[in-house]
Amino acid sequence: MAISAIFFLDIKGRIIIFRDYRGDVSPKYAEKFMSKINEMEEAGKLSPVIYDDGVTYLYLQVANLYLLAVTRTNVNACSTLVFLHRLVDVFRHYFQELEEESLRDNFVIVYELLDEVMDFGYPQFTEAKILAEYIKTDAYRMEATVKPPMAVTNAVSWRMEGIRHKKNEVFLDVVESVNLLVSSTGQVVLSDVVGVLKMRAFLSGMPECKLGLNDKVLFESQGRSSKQKAVELEDIKFHQCVRLARFENDRTISFIPPDGAFDLMTYRISQNIKPLIMVDCIVEKPSRSRTEYLVKARSQFKERSQANTVEIMLPLPADAISPTMKCTQGSAAYVPEKSALVWTIKSFPGGKEYSLRCHFGLPSVEAEDEGKGKMPPIKVKFEIPFFTVSGVQVRYLKVIEKSGYQALPWVRYITTSGNYEIRMV
């Protein structure tokens, strides 16, 4: 992609700072941009990408500013917007808050940063920690005597050289979020698992890390026994530190990690998922103005696992009167602003079933009939430590560094609820 210019505009569209990279646009395009924004706002059709008369405008609104990229070429819109977001992160690293006043107070360093993050319209380095090594905020100018850090010259922009830790450790959390929609008859309508490998690396030097998973594609290529459980991962996305060519070649996840916390990898699994916590709600009407809920919640995972901080939100009619409830485990409370009953169970072991009974009144038969069949679904929240619903496992996590130190790897598994809903009758 090639961006012609970047503009910083105030809320009225006046130019505060702009950097022309290719010489094929002029400041008048900022005025055209604001007129297009006003037209689209009146029509209720605002979009982050605007095309007009051979020119594409891509923008973000941050506080009282518009951050605008203008181009005459057919750029990748998503990549350009990601670049603008990264640029915002860089300025926030330097100025704490990105707003009109901070730009005017630091216009010298703003121009220096704009020259470093982009060259002739092509994005370069957008890692704030790297830029901070040779553009010093306290000096308000580029330090001519300071050479760019080795990380830049070695094309490892996410990590500095010379990092030292007293204790070399790496923590890896495999976090899976279960999205599930169950019909009122108990059938799974939609299900998938979104996983993320969250890593915190506190390692000295420039360590080489290698990670192995029970990847189905890898196992099949190696002719491994079918007795070993393998998982088919979809929509895999990696942090920029992972060597993609190596992964595509032999499915090895090899990387030099950033220092501190980052998301190493995300994935999705679309296999059919059995509900981990199933909720059945029987609606009874002992009289024309009284309604009862008989709710049963059961955990459908192995007994050795346990769900924590389980929250079951049961919708009630908006005009429900004086709900009373009694449960065999946990506590329940009526939340009128959400028109719902919230049942909280601090600890829910596998293979258990708990029940709740709720009574409430309705002001009229008409109101009762109006809500019939229109109740929103039951929503469930939970967290199950030491468990993955997909069966993903970390087979090994190796750390190799030329100094030869021994690093301590820690791996933890967590399953949480995502958009987890069960329809009522």
pLDDT tens digits, one per residue of 119-157: 888 888 787 777 777 776 553 333 433 444 444 444 577
Closest to 51 in 3D by CA, of 31, 70, 23, 76:
70
User: What distance in Å separates the CA atoms of residue 150 and residue 202, rounded to the nearest whole number?
Assistant: 19
Q: Of the candidates 122, 153, 184, which is a domain's last residue?
A: 153
- 161 belongs to a structural domain: no
| Average pLDDT of every residue of the chain | 85
What pLDDT, on a 0 to 100 scale, did the predictor assign at position 146?
Answer: 44
What pLDDT, on a 0 to 100 scale, did the predictor assign at position 263?
Answer: 94
pLDDT in tens, 253-272: 999 999 999 999 999 998 78
Which CATH number fits the domain that encloses residue 329?
Answer: 2.60.40.1170
- 424 belongs to a structural domain: no
Residues of the chain with pLDDT under 50: 139-154, 366-368, 370-371
User: What distance in Å separates the CA atoms of residue 354 and residue 352, rounded to the nearest whole number?
Assistant: 7
User: What distance in Å separates the CA atoms of residue 370 and residue 320, rounded to the nearest whole number?
Assistant: 13
Does one domain contain both 256 and 399? yes
CA distances from 276 to 197, 214, 377 (A): 21, 22, 17
Does one domain contain both 266 and 281? no
Beta-bridge partner residues of 347: 308
Burial of 243 per CB tally in 10 Å (0-12, 13-18, 19+): middle
Which CATH number fits the domain that encloses residue 10?
Answer: 3.30.450.60
What pLDDT, on a 0 to 100 scale, did the predictor assign at position 227?
Answer: 54
Domain holding 98, by residue range, is 5-153
What pLDDT, on a 0 to 100 scale, did the predictor assign at position 197?
Answer: 96
Does one domain contain both 110 and 200? no
DSSP 338: G
Prediction pTM value:
0.64
Handedness of CA 136, 264, 414, 383 (dihedral sign): positive
Does one domain contain both 281 and 370? yes
What pLDDT, on a 0 to 100 scale, did the predictor assign at position 370?
Answer: 44
- 344 belongs to a structural domain: yes
Does one domain contain both 313 and 396? no
What pLDDT, on a 0 to 100 scale, did the predictor assign at position 145?
Answer: 39
Does one domain contain both 17 and 146? yes
What pLDDT, on a 0 to 100 scale, did the predictor assign at position 301?
Answer: 93
